[in-house]
């Protein structure tokens, strides 16, 4: 084992020991960004190797989160905007990886119950079937809940929730005035695609970009944000531990303000 590996292992163990004294987030959300740039940096001619490596890396990160006791995880696989605007061949590859690498692993995994959020009508039928089969096969799994955000856009989710609420109110025979006076944060939240699951305590974005990019806009209003310079395929265990340490420190600061 190289000196670098020994130092990495020691540092990871030290970070892990520090977390034992801190509050950990119950729900972590991941913006898995930077697959294409990772492929370029690694010298690949096509972004496909970055997307493939990124999809495979999710399995490893799920194992880390399970080991650390994180019981709710949301991962952004592809945005609605990406599916509409990216090159057709790249989108086909992303969907293929979602059907095979991601969905196949989730069906085999016994630790995570799968949930879906996003505009599934944007996806190929084969992708929807594969993901829904993974969802159906894992509903009895414990102890974790994994939400796959695919074809997802936060603003569109809020619009869909409001429209659903309006239709429900109409079917209940409510007048426009009654609907307007009865709308609350809770009534809209009840119609979100993530209803029934906790909001994220911590949102991590890889690649160095420091923005949410339409991810969990409603749910993430009180979330801690943590930005990692590493591209998603190069996201390390110690990067996750550092993000959790940052969250733990913020909890202490809020509990004991100066």
Active-site residues: which are they?
33, 82
SS3 (DSSP) at 228: coil
Please compute Rg for the chain using Cα positions: 20
Using CA atoms, how far residue 108 sits from 55, 76, 101, 141, 195, in Å, is: 15, 20, 11, 11, 26
Question: Residue 20, class by beta-carbon neighbours within 10 Å (0-12 exposed, 13-18 middle, 19+ buried)?
Answer: exposed
CB 240: neighbour CB atoms within 10 A?
A: 22
CB 162: neighbour CB atoms within 10 A?
A: 14
């Amino acid at each position: 084992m190289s000196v670098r590996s020994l130092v990495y292992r020691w540092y990871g163990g030290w970070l892990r020991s520090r977390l034992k004294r801190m509050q950990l987030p119950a729900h972590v959300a991941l913006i898995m960004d930077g697959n294409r740039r990772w492929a370029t940096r690694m010298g690949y001619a096509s972004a496909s190797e970055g997307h493939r490596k990124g999809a495979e890396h999710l399995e490893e990160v799920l194992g880390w989160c399970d080991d650390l006791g994180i019981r709710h995880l949301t991962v952004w696989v592809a945005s609605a905007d990406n599916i509409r605007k990216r090159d057709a061949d790249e989108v086909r590859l992303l969907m293929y990886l979602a059907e095979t690498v991601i969905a196949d692993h989730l069906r085999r995994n016994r630790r995570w119950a799968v949930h879906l959020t996003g505009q599934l009508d944007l996806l190929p039928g084969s992708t929807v079937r594969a993901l829904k089969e993974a969802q159906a096969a894992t509903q009895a799994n414990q102890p974790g809940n994994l939400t796959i955000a695919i074809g997802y856009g936060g603003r569109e989710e809020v619009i869909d929730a409001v429209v659903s609420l309006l239709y429900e109110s109409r079917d209940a025979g409510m007048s426009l005035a009654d609907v307007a006076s009865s709308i609350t944060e809770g009534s809209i939240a009840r119609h979100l695609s993530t209803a029934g699951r906790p909001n994220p305590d911590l949102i991590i974005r890889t690649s160095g970009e420091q923005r949410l990019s339409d991810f969990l806009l409603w749910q993430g209003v009180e979330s801690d944000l943590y930005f990692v310079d590493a591209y998603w395929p190069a996201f390390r265990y110690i990067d996750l531990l550092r993000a959790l340490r940052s969250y733990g420190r913020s909890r202490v600061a809020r509990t004991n303000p100066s």
